[in-house]
Amino acid sequence: MVLALNGSHLYGNLRPLVLEEPRAGGRMIAGSWPPRSLAKLGPSPPPSALPTASPLPANDSQCGEQILSYGSAEKVLIGAVLCLITLLTIAGNCLVVISVCFVKKLRQPSNYLIVSLALADLSVALAVMPFVSVTDLIGGEWIFGRLFCNVFIAMDVMCCTASIMTLCVISIDR
């Protein structure tokens, strides 16, 4: 959100945060603010029962923002849920593609858009979701290297955009 309140009290408080440059030579994580900017935001909220977040000191790839530490039981539960979601996404979209391919009555131009959506969602399930699941389970640290980080981001954007655009075309067709 952009505020154009030139002489206001709010703009005066936000100005040091907006105009401040990152420290020279300091490592920053993608999308993060420099530590001295964070100190200007005021006192931190009281600790909660959620997993603790710590800055990412040893991640060379700078692809993640924070490391979250979960307990063993939480990792098993989160891993099971993420795997179940991924497998159900793959199975459901495969069923859509197979049903339109094999049932002659379903081979209509409007259903081809549904197949296109299923293929776009299948590409998300195969190319994006497994790597996000692994990254979440190990605490948010990207372990697949800098090159694959860039490939992953490109695949994520491309597959999700294909899915969204297909939804737009389906809505126009209907």
Closest to 50 measured CA to CA, from 19, 20, 71: 71
Asked whether residue 54 is domain-assigned, the answer is no
Asked whether residue 20 is domain-assigned, the answer is no
Residue 53, classed as helix, strand or coil, is strand
Q: How many domains does the chain have?
A: 1
| Residue pointed to by tokens 């800098």 | 146
Structure tokens at 165: 């655009």
Per the structure, the complete domain to which residue 134 belongs is given by 72-173
**Percent of the chain, pLDDT > 70?**
61
Q: Is the pLDDT of residue 3 over 80?
A: no
Asked whether residue 8 is domain-assigned, the answer is no
Asked whether residue 31 is domain-assigned, the answer is no
Mean pLDDT of the chain: 75
| pLDDT (tens digit per residue) in 40-59 | 555 555 555 555 555 555 55
| pLDDT (tens digit per residue) in 129-164 | 999 999 888 888 889 999 999 999 999 999 999 999
Asked whether residue 1 is domain-assigned, the answer is no
| pTM, rounded to two decimals | 0.59
Asked whether residue 14 is domain-assigned, the answer is no
Return d(Cα 118, Cα 112) in angstroms, integer.
10
Total number of residues shown for the chain? 174
Return d(Cα 171, Cα 116) in angstroms, integer.
13
Return d(Cα 65, Cα 56) in angstroms, integer.
7
Return d(Cα 17, Cα 31) in angstroms, integer.
14
Asked whether residue 3 is domain-assigned, the answer is no
Asked whether residue 35 is domain-assigned, the answer is no
